[in-house]
Amino acid sequence: MPKKQVSSERKQVQSHHPSNWPSVVRFIQSPAYHVSVPAAVRSHIEGSCISLKNNQIPISKDAKVVIRRITDTSHPAFGQFGLFAGQRIPPKMHIIYYFGEIHCDDRSDSNYDLSLCRLDGEINVGIDAHGMGNQARFVNDYRGIADKPNSIFVDGRLNSGALSMTIWSGNQEIKKGQEILVSYGKSWWQSRRSGPADGES
Ligand SMILES: C[S@@+](CC[C@H](N)C(=O)[O-])C[C@H]1O[C@@H](n2cnc3c(N)ncnc32)[C@H](O)[C@@H]1O
């Protein structure tokens, strides 16, 4: 391939990365599947054999969000990154999908792993954004930062039928520049020895 073409393709790939994206993490804009996901589970997640009447998520375009390094020394995630509103986000609005690697193996070491569903009472399906994901992987938990979360994780099926995890604003608007904060849940923190264990849910 001619040199010029290679460099312009590289430029194109890099320009898709949001600003502050870590070079060691793959930026993805749709879910990826790990080999541990059996074909039947994948087809369940993709929605090919499911009635779509219940639990559908009405999705609009992603809100504008920015990844920012936390420079406030009193912030419990000081030195790390967080997810911030790049524009005013109205109440109860879809903010962003949580993309990552969909897997059925154990990822207890990952701090970016969310539970997507549990099938037949024994197969745990997770979304792990440790090695690959989108901006949503930078959302921090509200504990030690605010009195309560201003956003929530919502799981359900999209119009396409796919089972997905998304982040939505809560009952109040999020102002431009405010940090987007969710609750990871008490059990998330309890399963990790360090970190805040208080808070309601
Ligand atoms: C999903 S990541 C969030 C993004 C992370 N701050 C980063 O820069 O990659 C989860 C990790 O963020 C940090 N974190 C998130 N919320 C926190 C909080 N309220 N207090 C302390 N650490 C927090 C913890 O290190 C946790 O393991």
122 to 33, 105, 118, 187: CA distances (angstroms): 19, 12, 7, 19
Interatomic CA distance for residues 107 and 166, integer angstroms: 20
User: Which ligand 1 atom is nearest residue 143's CA?
Assistant: 19
CB 77 less than 6 A from any atom of ligand 1: yes
Distance from residue 104's CA to the centre of ligand 1 (Å): 23
Kindly list the structural domains of the chain, giving each domain's residue range(s) and its CATH number in brackets, ordered by start: 19-190 (2.170.270.10)
The 10 Å Cβ neighbour count of residue 43 is 13
CB 145 less than 6 A from any atom of ligand 1: yes
Interatomic CA distance for residues 52 and 55, integer angstroms: 8
ipTM: 0.99
The 10 Å Cβ neighbour count of residue 96 is 20
- Residue pLDDT, tens place only, 17-55: 899 999 999 999 989 999 999 999 999 999 854 444 444
For 36: left if phi > 0, alpha if psi spans -120 to 50, otherwise beta; the answer is alpha
Chain center to CA of 6? 31
Burial group, residue 198, by CB count within 10 angstroms (0-12, 13-18, 19+):
exposed
User: Which ligand 1 atom is nearest residue 142's CA?
Assistant: 19
CB 76 less than 6 A from any atom of ligand 1: yes
CB 195 less than 6 A from any atom of ligand 1: yes
Q: Which SS3 state, helix, strand or coil, does residue 84 take?
A: strand
Sequence-distant (≥ 6) Cβ neighbours of residue 95 within 8 angstroms: 62, 63, 65, 89, 151, 166, 167, 168, 169, 180
- Residue pLDDT, tens place only, 45-64: 998 544 444 445 555 567 79
**What is the value of pTM for the model shown?**
0.86
User: Which ligand 1 atom is nearest residue 81's CA?
Assistant: 8
Tokens standing for 191?
Answer: 């399963």
The residues with which 113 forms a beta bridge, in sequence order, are 128
- Residue pLDDT, tens place only, 69-125: 999 999 999 999 999 999 999 999 999 999 999 999 999 999 999 999 998 878 999
Ligand 1: residue whose CA is nearest its atom 13: 77
